[in-house]
A and B are shown apart, each in its own frame.
Chain A
Amino acid sequence: GAGVSQSPSNKVTEKGKDVELRCDPISGHTALYWYRQRLGQGLEFLIYFQGNSAPDKSGLPSDRFSAERTGESVSTLTIQRTQQEDSAVYLCASSVGGATDTQYFGPGTRLTVL
């Protein structure tokens, strides 16, 4: 079917506001990942969901960041009280099984915090 989709593609918000970013993985993919990529930088791991297991939240930079996933479907990344340093492209990826499988990336959400 279709690839990984993310929405919105662009989000501009004011400092202190909360934002929600959405990811729709490829159908049938049990694993879902969120990454952050600041301008000119590499990918920074945020959180990893694998089936019904407890998510690996070890990459979340602060308690302002949280993510949920409904079963093996949509995931939402929430950033509360946004700060200017949160400005980045947020990438979602999914894979068939575990982390050794090929990850397919969505187009990303470009977040700008003014």
Chain B
Amino acid sequence: QKEVEQNSGPLSVPEGAIASLNCTYSDRVSQSFFWYRQYSGKSPELIMSIYSNGDKEDGRFTAQLNKASQYVSLLIRDSQPSDSATYLCAVNVQAGTALIFGKGTTLSVSS
């Protein structure tokens, strides 16, 4: 059974702090990794994708991938109340198959 695990939270951080969201996956041969943000009552939207080990930065967001540890994370710098949402980690095990989503981590940023 291929699994993607996330802490459900809620993760609470003050405005301006760094939020760190973590995800582990069970299948070592997984190839592609995605972070989606989902506001309450809305559909998911892509934040970051990462395919190789290391860090990938996009504005206030940094995705980190460590395939040896089967671990992918998302850092949000200078967190804002508008970042409050559920963050979904998704993993693609092999080409031609659908993504496997974690259950999501709820982030709450207080002003």
Contacts and interface: CB of A to CB of B under 8 A. Distances in A.
Which of B31, B51, B92 gathers the greatest number of chain A CB atoms within 10 Å?
A: B92
Main secondary structure of the interface of B (DSSP, over half): loop
B43 A100 contact: no
Interface stretch (A13-21, A61-69, A71-79, A102-110): A102-110
Interface stretch (B14-22, B66-74, B77-85, B95-103): B95-103
B97 A43 contact: no
A42 B98 CA distance: 15
Contacts, number: 55
A9 to B, nearest CB: 11
Interface in B26-59: 31-32, 34, 42-46, 49, 51
Interface in B87-111: 88, 90, 92, 95-104
A38 to B, nearest CB: 11
Q: How large is the interface on B (under 10, 10 to 19, 20 to 34, 35 or more residues)?
A: 20 to 34
Interface of A: 33, 35, 41-45, 48, 50, 53, 56, 59, 91, 98-100, 102-108
A103 B96 contact: no
Contact of A45 (B31, B98, B104): B98
